[in-house]
Each structure stands twice: as structure tokens, then as C-alpha cells.
Structure 1
Amino acid sequence: MARLQVGLPELVGDIAKYAAKFDMVELHPVPGAAPRASTLRAWRRAINPSFTFSVVLPPIVGELSMSKEMNAALEEALATATTVEARCIVVSTPPSVRPTSGTIAKLRALVERLPRPSVVLCWEPHGLWERREIISTAKQLGVVAVLDAAQATVPPGPVVYTRLRSLGGQGAVSERNIERVAAQLSGRREAWVVVEHRPSAPRVRTQLAQAMSRVSTPPPAPVVRPAAGRLRAEDEEQ
């Protein structure tokens, strides 16, 4: 069964108390206002080494402006990722970043600046991208495409990073969608699940683990019993 890690798109409250409820958290470093290195190191020391920090690069990086401001924001975010020993780095591109050859070239240039292979690189496009374009581009770049596994089929591969979206902060994840997500995560090596609807996140974590356990456990083999008449005939021959 996949190593399942569920969390929120932001840190809520004390890191140790948070880590007692969840397995991962996304950090969104703000250029010029990221947490101090001492704070980040304290967070890392306060929790189990298996807990995952995922760093989402700032919006100015996702805009692919290739400006000095973008470079500065990228360096600061990567410093945050290094300090917390981030397992994942997410590039989130806005709707203004369209599926063109120029965009793919800029994405490739950005990805080449990100650490490998110790970090799982993820890309989450927004806007007019079709699923086939997302998967094709992610494959070209060697990154994990971020989709909503409750609404779309995630691409094949040993790892999955999915965001269960909640438009406008409304809409808990239904049990039906949890079953669908579990079926898609079955057979993977690792799965990171970000739940946007904060109130339902603990329930999603519990029910998703249960659903994945059911999916990964094969049903018992049927017991085949020999026909009674055949046994009697064989006994008479003996």
C-alpha cells in the first residue's frame, strides 16, 4: 500500500500539535517575509523525520517572468526548502501561463534550477490547460503533475501529489470521492494529499487510509469443495 501523507495547504497553530494530526504541510514563503531560518530549523527538530514539508514557490516564480525579482524570490524559497528539508517543491502557474512552446521552454529552465533527486518536483497549472497537455508537459519536464484526484484521473507513476480542492472554502470531501481517490492511489509508492477544506481534513485522512486498506487487501479466495457424489463413488471403488 502507498505511503499516505495527508495535510493542509498551510500550517495551522503549533507545529508539534499539527504534526500529531497530519503527515505533511505546505509552506508558501512570501518574498521578503519568509520565516526566519531559526524558526524553520525549530519546526524541523520538533517533529518526526518522516513528516513532509512541501514548499510551494511564490506566485512571482510561477508567473515565469524570468526577472530579477523572480530570481530573488526563487532563491529565498529554495533556502526555506533546504532548511526544513522539504520533500516536495511545487511550481504553481497561474491562468496567464498558457500551453505554448515558449511556456514549456521557461518551465524547463525553471525546473533545471530546482534540486534533484532528493526532492519530488511537482507542477500545478491553472487555467486553460487540458489534462493531456498537463500530463505530456509534466512528462517532458520530469515532474509530477498536480491534479484533483477526486475530479480527474491522475497520471500513472510511483508517486502522486494531489490537491482536493474546495472552491471558495466550501464543500467537504464526500465519502464517494474518498473512495475514488483511494482507488487512484492504490499501488503507488508514495502519495501526498492536500485537503483544502480544513474542517473535513482529519476525517478525510482517516477514511482515506481505511479505503486504501480495503482496496489493497485482496478478497479471500473461494473455498472449492469436491462434489459429494464423486467422493462416494471413489470410496466404493476402493
Structure 2
Amino acid sequence: MKVGCCGWGFYRGGLKAYSQKFSLVECQQTFYRLPMPSTARKWREEVPESFEITVKAWQAITHLPSSPTWRRSGLKLKPEQEKNYGWLRPTKENLEAWQRTKEICDALNSKICLIQTPPNFKCTRENRDNMERFFDRIDRGGLFLAWEPRGDWVENAGEIKKICRDLDLIHVVDIMRRTPVSDHRIAYTRLHGLNPREYDYRYDYSAEEIRELARRVGELEKSHEEVYVLFNNTAMYKNSVQLMELLE
């Protein structure tokens, strides 16, 4: 089992200091705006060989240009280009965006790439068909692909299970809210806090909640060969250390 955080940007001392405390991090910068491959290689050189960096795929692949997060993308699109980005459609633009994402994964020597789809990417036949065509066309290059569906997908566990099986995807969940339905040998959980609104990251897990989390990831470990636990809340550095101490 590996425990880490979604990002190192707020960790005192940066990535190098972070890697001395943790063995895992999920790179968040790649979602908003892809770094230069040379920058990614520099990050890799800062950390021990055993340190693992997973990558959150570039939003150009998953989110429409109308998404507020696109403001940070650095891309200036022509009107005719906008309809070709996002929602895992098998367009030339999305396939190129994947290749650029994969290049960063290669530079970081990453094993897993996280693909997060937004709530407006609905559980429809069109979106399922596009997913199949997209994943059929891309070069994975040995990467494990982890999918975090949001929106109405969470009410359609059967569809998620089928897609993950057919497309060889890891089903990513917040284990404190639901359990993964894929049969993949890897489990990947992202912890967003337990506020009434699911993706309200302003949260600090209590000692009791950390104990319950330890129990749940322990159950995951019984049924999976590898388990990745990523905190994605405001108190993530503190909470991840608490969990690691409990698991020792």
C-alpha cells in the first residue's frame, strides 16, 4: 500500500522535501497545464528512484473548453477548434493531447495516469461509444489508466463495471463514500473530505475517521495486489501522515 497526496505545491520545501516524507504523489499541475518535458524530467531527478509519481491527465482530453479550469490551460483556441476538445472524444485534438500527456508520464517514469471526467460528461450511449473509440486508439505505452467518473455515473455502477472491464481501467473512488466496482488488480482511492458536498475539499479528517479509513483500505488490500491512497483535501499532508502512522 502506498499513501500520498494530490500535489506538492503547498508542501514546505517543495517536491524534494515531500519525497523524503512520502513515497507517492499525484501530479496535479498536468491537469491544468502541461509542463515542458524538461521540467518533468527535472522533477523526476529531484526525488529518489523508488518514489512514485502518478499523473492526472491534461484537462484538454476530458473537459470542454467552456470549463472554468481551462483558463489555466495556456491554450488559445480558434472557435472551430473548441468543439474538438474534451469528453474523451476520438478527435485529432484529443488524441494529440493524450500523446502530450503520455510524454510527461514517460518523463516522470509514471506507472499510472488518472483520467477524471467532469459531472457534465453524462452516462450516455454517445459518451460510452466515444470512450471506447478513444481508448482503442491511444497508445498506453504500458501505463495503467485510472478513471474517476463524476456526476450521474456514480448512480450507474453496472455501466462503470462494464466499461472498466472492457477498456481495462481502474475504477477510482473515494473509499470513504463508495467502493470500486472494477476487477482490476490495482485499487486507487482519492479522498476529498466528508463535507455534505462531495467535492468540497476544505476538510480535516478526525482521528476516528482516519481509523475507519485504515480499516477500509485494509479491506482493499485483501482483494487487490496494489493499493494507492491519495488525499485531496486541505489537510492532506497532516491526514496522510496520520494514516501512515496508523498503518505502520
TM-score of the pair, normalised by structure 2: 0.73
1:142 to 168, 175, 199: 168
Partner of 2:140: 115
Residue-by-residue CA offset, 1:26-78 (whole Å, 9 max, x unaligned): 224257x4222222112112212222221211223112244444333222211
Q: Which residue of 1 aligns with 2:189?
A: 162
Residue 162 of structure 1, CA deviation: 0.9
Counterparts of 2:242 and 2:223, CA distance in 1: 19
1:16 equivalent in structure 2: 16
RMSD across aligned positions (CA): 2.3
Residue 72 of structure 1 corresponds to 96
- C-alpha distance in 1 between matches for 2:213 and 2:115: 25
**Cα distance in 2, alignment partners of residues 123 and 159 from structure 1:** 12
Distance apart, 1:187 and its partner CA: 4.6
Report the Cα distance in structure 1 between the residues aligned to 2:143 and 2:180, rounded to whole angstroms: 20
Q: Which residue of 1 aligns with 2:52?
A: 52
> 1:34 aligned to 2:59?
no
CA distance in 2, matches of 1:204, 1:11: 13
For the 8 Å contact 1:37–1:80, the answer to whether it is kept is yes
Pair 1:168–1:93, CA change in 2 (3 A): same
- Hey, what's the Cα distance between the residues in 1 that align with 2:241 and 2:223? 18
> Which residue pairs with 1:224 in the alignment?
none
Matched with 2:214 is: 178
Identity of aligned residues (%): 21
1:183 shift after superposition: 2.2
Match of 2:66 in 1: none
Contact between 1:149 and 1:184, CA under 8 Å: does it hold in 2? no
Distance 2:37 2:243 in 1: 36
TM (norm. structure 1) is: 0.76
Which residue identity is paired with 2:25? V
Displacement after TM superposition at 1:199 (Å)? 1.9
Correspondence for 1:222: none
Contact 2:7 2:25 in 1 (8 A): yes
- Whole-Å separation in 2 of the counterparts to 1:114 and 1:11: 28
Higher relative contact order (CA 8 A, sep 6+): 1
Residues 116-131 of structure 1: pairs in structure 2 closer than 5 A? 116=141, 118-129=142-153, 130-131=156-157
Contact 1:122 1:161 in 2 (8 A): yes
